[in-house]
């Protein structure tokens, strides 16, 4: 802890980025809320513990509407359409925006995507397994292109533009500089405005064309800027979560060979195994930042008005008050109740799609590559920067 009373996360553990769980557990043992300095130097308030995190997610005093309450930071222009979407709004705006797209993410519609997800999975593994050295980077070869292809096909983004979107997405969820992040937020909407114009002239059988035409019972529809913001959100959230679900899930299996053998022997455990992967080392470490609209008392700790607040979902799902022996990876565990996809109004709309992709990807990978194993020591892996997404940049494997 620094002299000013702020907890320096990287001073508590220099290994914080790779393994934040011991730091979170130590903080949780002291109090549910802490004033911290995160690895990129920002000061904010961090909420830990399962029950307190759930409460924070549903506290209306912790707002996602940065645009109407002071902007979203000095480097980003709050008027950019790319930063105005349902994840950056509160009710009633959030309610309206979510209602206009929720129909495209019903369980029935997601289940109907299963055959196409399986086909893409098989094609990617066909290409990966052609490597005569029997080695690959699982992220680049499989975990990234699978959900990126699915969400781009769903929205109607041309195949040639998907690599560019990967660069923009990385700059938003794990930026290496403020300038890189700002550039992505400017270039994405410019591209999407052109794509939306094309879809207006020649609609296709895709989600973007449907969103352009969608009108609800009250005659409401998305504005041009809202369409751009929604596309940005769906493209980024629609693949980043699954990339790291697959990557982190396979890392967990490699590190626990008994659980890997157990799953290979009985794919009836697959659904529960995916939920345990989400709980044990989920793809989202902390929530997107909240703004304290007033002084907020959280279990005796006062978060001052105007403060930035992060909710540590990664810690919530390792809380012994909620999960027995939480640091043990057990694919037979009842992991229901985890908050890897958030909680409350902003619960991830695409969670059913991420689960579907995760189940198909992991089962097919293990069936077709029965001898797959890690091809690098865990300590040598490069981690995504920031505290939003949790995952590795590459995952070398052999089979």
pLDDT in tens, 30-54: 999 999 999 989 999 999 999 999 9
Domain contains 13: yes
Structure token pair of residue 181: 């992040």
Q: What Cα–Cα distance (Å) separates residue 146 from each residue in 99, 120, 287?
A: 27, 7, 24
Domain contains 26: yes
Q: Any residues with CB less than 8 A from the CB of 5 and at least 6 apart, and which?
A: 35
* Residue corresponding to tokens 């645009």: 67
The C-alpha atoms of residue 239 and residue 15 are separated, in whole angstroms, by 27
Domain contains 1: no
* Residue corresponding to tokens 């019972």: 217
Q: Any residues with CB less than 8 A from the CB of 307 and at least 6 apart, and which?
A: 44, 45, 291, 292
Domain contains 112: yes
Is residue 252 scored above 80 in pLDDT?
yes
Structure token pair of residue 269: 């455990």
- pLDDT-derived band at 103 (thresholds 50, 70, 90) equals confident
pLDDT digits (tens, 9 = 90+) for 310-343: 999 999 999 999 999 999 999 999 999 999 999 9
262: DSSP letter: H
Let me know: does 294 contact 64? Beta carbons within 8 Å: no
Domain contains 2: no
Mean of the pLDDT values across residues 268-274? 98
Domain contains 335: yes
- Residue 138 sits in which domain range? 7-398
CATH number at residue 334: 1.10.630.10
* Residue corresponding to tokens 């080392």: 281
Query: Other CB atoms closer than 10 Å to residue 161's CB: what's the count?
Result: 11
* Residue corresponding to tokens 């098989």: 122
Domain contains 153: yes
Mean of the pLDDT values across residues 374-380? 94
Query: Other CB atoms closer than 10 Å to residue 339's CB: what's the count?
Result: 23
Let me know: does 391 contact 247? Beta carbons within 8 Å: yes
Residue 78: the pLDDT is 52
- The structural domain count of the chain equals 1
The C-alpha atoms of residue 272 and residue 335 are separated, in whole angstroms, by 7
Domain contains 209: yes
């Amino acid at each position: 802890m620094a002299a000013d009373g702020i907890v320096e996360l990287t001073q508590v553990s220099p290994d914080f980025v790779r393994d934040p769980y011991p730091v979170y557990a130590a903080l949780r043992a002291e109090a549910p809320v802490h004033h911290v300095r995160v690895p990129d130097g920002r000061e904010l308030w961090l909420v830990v513990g399962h029950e307190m995190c759930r409460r924070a997610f549903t506290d209306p005093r912790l707002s996602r509407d940065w645009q109407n309450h002071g902007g979203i930071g000095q480097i980003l222009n709050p008027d950019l359409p790319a930063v105005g979407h349902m994840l950056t709004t509160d009710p009633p705006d959030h309610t309206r925006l979510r209602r206009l797209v929720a129909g495209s993410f019903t369980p029935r519609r997601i289940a109907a995507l299963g055959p196409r997800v399986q086909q893409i999975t098989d094609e990617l593994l066909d290409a990966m397994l052609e490597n005569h050295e029997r080695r690959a980077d699982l992220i680049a070869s499989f975990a990234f292109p699978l959900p990126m292809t699915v969400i781009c096909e769903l929205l109607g983004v041309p195949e040639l533009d998907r690599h560019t979107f990967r660069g923009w997405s990385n700059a938003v969820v794990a930026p290496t500089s403020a300038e890189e992040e700002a550039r992505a937020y400017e270039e994405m909407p410019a591209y999407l405005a052109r794509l939306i114009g094309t879809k207006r002239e020649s609609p296709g059988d895709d989600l973007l064309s449907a969103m352009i035409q969608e009108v609800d019972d009250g005659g409401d529809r998305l504005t041009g800027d809202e369409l751009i913001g929604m596309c940005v959100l769906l493209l980024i959230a629609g693949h980043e979560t699954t990339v790291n679900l697959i990557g982190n899930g396979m890392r967990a299996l490699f590190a626990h060979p008994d659980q890997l053998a157990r799953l290979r022997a009985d794919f009836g455990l697959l659904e529960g195994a995916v939920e345990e992967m989400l709980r044990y080392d989920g793809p989202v470490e902390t929530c997107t930042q909240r703004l304290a609209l007033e002084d907020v008392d959280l279990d005796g700790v006062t978060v001052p008005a105007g403060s930035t607040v992060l909710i540590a979902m990664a810690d919530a799902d390792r809380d012994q008050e909620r999960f027995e022996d939480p640091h043990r990876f057990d694919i037979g565990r009842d992991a229901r109740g985890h908050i890897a996809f958030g909680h409350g109004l902003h619960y991830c709309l695409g969670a059913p799609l991420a689960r579907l992709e995760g189940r198909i990807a992991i089962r097919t990978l293990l069936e077709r590559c029965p001898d797959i194993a890690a091809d690098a020591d865990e300590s040598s892996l490069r981690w995504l920067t920031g505290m939003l997404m949790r995952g590795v940049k590459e995952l070398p494997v052999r089979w």
